[in-house]
Amino acid sequence: MGTLADLLRESTDLGADDIDHLHALVADWALLADLSFADLLLLVPSRATAARGGAGPGAEFLVVAQVRPTTGPTAYHNDEVGSVVINRWVVQNSWRERRIAREGEPEWDGGVPVRTEAIPVLHSDRVIAVLARDTNLATTRTPSALESAYLQCANNLALMIAEGAFPFRGSNAELPEAPRVGDGMLRLDGSGKVIFASPNALSAYRRLGYTGNVTGEDLRSVHRTLNLPATTPAVWHAIGRRRPVEVELAVGSTVVLLRAIPLFPGATREVLVLVRDVSDLRRREAQLLSKDATIREIHHRVKNNLQTVAALLRLQMRRTKVDEARLALRESVRRVTSIAVVHETLSQSLGESVPFDEIADQITSVTVDLASTGTRASTTRRGSFGRLPGELATPLALVLSELLQNAVEHAFDGSAGSIELRVRRYPDRLDVVVADNGAGLPEDFQLEHSPRLGLQIVRQLVLGEMQGAIRLQAGAERGTEALLSIPLRD
């Protein structure tokens, strides 16, 4: 089954703006499902049915999206997306007459009595879809005060959909921390008085330090009592701007998130305020930030220590008279410096991944600068590594350093040359080529039998630590190419 956009493009002639409107509706419609205790099905007419005005014998409507309530039993145990509704008069009437239509008697679906209410989805003064609100009546009883408040808010939202006033553009309902209906709810009248408060909302305000009952109180006076007067105007911006507003209330270690949603069908002016205690979430975020700062500080100190080691090795290199020892110390400086570059980047990055292009460019510069042959090698990079996890960045930095050093030391015999670093990133792997235009490989060269320490390090890191593959081969015209293929894990 395709995405909502795919289904709409395949089955309708709706334009991009209409499809965006339906996407926005689906992004925020869990609110209506939870307030209604009902499943929601988004229905669009087939092209033939739309051409006939959305009605008549054989009228077909395709289900393109579905959401179940978290506050009550579902009416459908199966996924209805992709199914076709034929000759459903309540849907046809809603489409044709541009009004909310309700069924009298429930229909039975899989042994479950279901009552359908069809809501026209209005956009740009046109009906572009029908929203079926299907309620499971198997557990019907006299609604409590909480359920009545939910249903009244749901009916206001349904009227707003039929008027083209809902969904709101730019809503943050899809954010993981956005309050849901079950987290807590306040219902305010046009003057700002709380006309209903759910038990969870009362508990949230109690944790903020308000000992009274907010029901019947002006929310502004409640916030003044909590010494939070600056938060109240933001709630009323929801009415003025006709879009939801998020406000965070913090008293001591208690943090409560409010999402104020304007309800303005017809002459009605109300505000639905969803309330969620996010104290634990904010505390965990603070702990993660503290841990992240600690990790960055560790990387910074490791980088400093490695730079100290590199400085000591350079000092020892200058005092050493034996050429072979000086060469070994120079290579050690280069390897230590390559690792230090990775830790420096990690110390400046948020999270556990690093932008590796910067690391690769620094390593290239360091390797050429530390070359002992006097070779003038120009270097270029084509392609991007992107961000890589720290556990991959360190061995890859060492591998690149060794391959670049190998090219500088052995490819050009002291003459000028060029080295090209080519990168292609795929979803599941990273392909890297280090190519030079030098003398090329000896005829009997075999990587696994090479006595060079640098190439032994490369082979061990690629095959072992990075679980990748490597081979060295002659270039297309001249020189040598080192080809790496490194798997990328989620």
pLDDT for residue 371: 62
pLDDT for residue 19: 93
Whether 236 has a pLDDT exceeding 80, the answer reads no
Distance of CA 73 to the CA centre of its chain: 30
Cis peptide before 167 (omega within 30 of 0): yes
Residue 238 buriedness (CB in 10 A; 0-12 / 13-18 / 19+): buried
Rounded distance, CA 175 to CA 219, Å? 25
What are the pLDDT digits (tens) for 94-134? 999 999 999 877 787 777 888 999 999 999 999 999 999 99
Q: What is the pTM of this model?
A: 0.65
What are the pLDDT digits (tens) for 35-69? 999 999 999 998 888 888 777 788 899 999 999 99
Q: Do 72 and 114 contact (CB within 8 A), yes or no?
A: no
Rounded distance, CA 390 to CA 427, Å? 18
pLDDT for residue 70: 92
In the chain, CATH 3.30.450.280 sits at 4-144
Which has more confidence, 349 or 99? 99
Question: Residue for token digits 């270690």?
Answer: 253
Confidence of residue 232 (pLDDT cuts 50, 70, 90): low
Whether 20 has a pLDDT exceeding 80, the answer reads yes
CATH of range 282-487; options 3.40.50.2020, 3.30.1370.10, 3.30.565.10, 3.40.50.700? 3.30.565.10
* DSSP E strands, 163-269: 185-188, 194-197, 245-251, 254-263
Mean pLDDT value across residues 375-380:
77
Q: What whole-number percentage of the chain has pLDDT above 90? A: 35
Average pLDDT value over all residues in the chain:
85
Rounded distance, CA 67 to CA 74, Å? 9
Q: What is the DSSP letter of 463?
A: I
pLDDT for residue 192: 85
Rounded distance, CA 149 to CA 15, Å? 37
In the chain, CATH 3.30.450.20 sits at 181-277
pLDDT for residue 162: 95
Q: 400 — phi, psi (to 5°)?
A: -60, -40
Whether 80 has a pLDDT exceeding 70, the answer reads yes
Mean pLDDT value across residues 450-467:
85
pLDDT for residue 277: 92
Rounded distance, CA 391 to CA 400, Å? 15
What are the pLDDT digits (tens) for 314-339? 888 888 888 888 878 887 887 888 77
* DSSP reduced 3-state for 164: coil
Rounded distance, CA 48 to CA 11, Å? 10
Q: 268 — phi, psi (to 5°)?
A: -70, 140
Whether 372 has a pLDDT exceeding 60, the answer reads no
Rounded distance, CA 22 to CA 438, Å? 60
pLDDT for residue 355: 87
Longest CA–CA separation in the chain, Å: 100
Whether 233 has a pLDDT exceeding 80, the answer reads no
What are the pLDDT digits (tens) for 144-187? 899 999 999 999 999 999 999 999 876 655 566 789 999 999 99
pLDDT for residue 35: 95
Mean pLDDT value across residues 437-446:
80
Query: What fold characterizes domain 4-144?
Result: Beta-Lactamase (3.30.450)
Torsion of CA 280, 285, 291, 294, to 10 degrees: -130
What are the pLDDT digits (tens) for 238-265? 777 778 888 888 888 899 999 999 998 8
Looking from the CA of 67 toward its CB, the CA atoms found within 13 Å total 21
Q: 263 — phi, psi (to 5°)?
A: -120, 110
Whether 77 has a pLDDT exceeding 80, the answer reads yes
- Percent helix, percent strand, percent coil in the chain, to nearest 5: 45, 25, 30
Q: What is the homologous superfamily of the domain 181-277 according to CATH?
A: PAS domain (3.30.450.20)
Nearest to 261 by CA among 293, 236, 283, 282: 236
pLDDT for residue 29: 93
Whether 467 has a pLDDT exceeding 70, the answer reads yes
In the chain, CATH 3.30.565.10 sits at 282-487
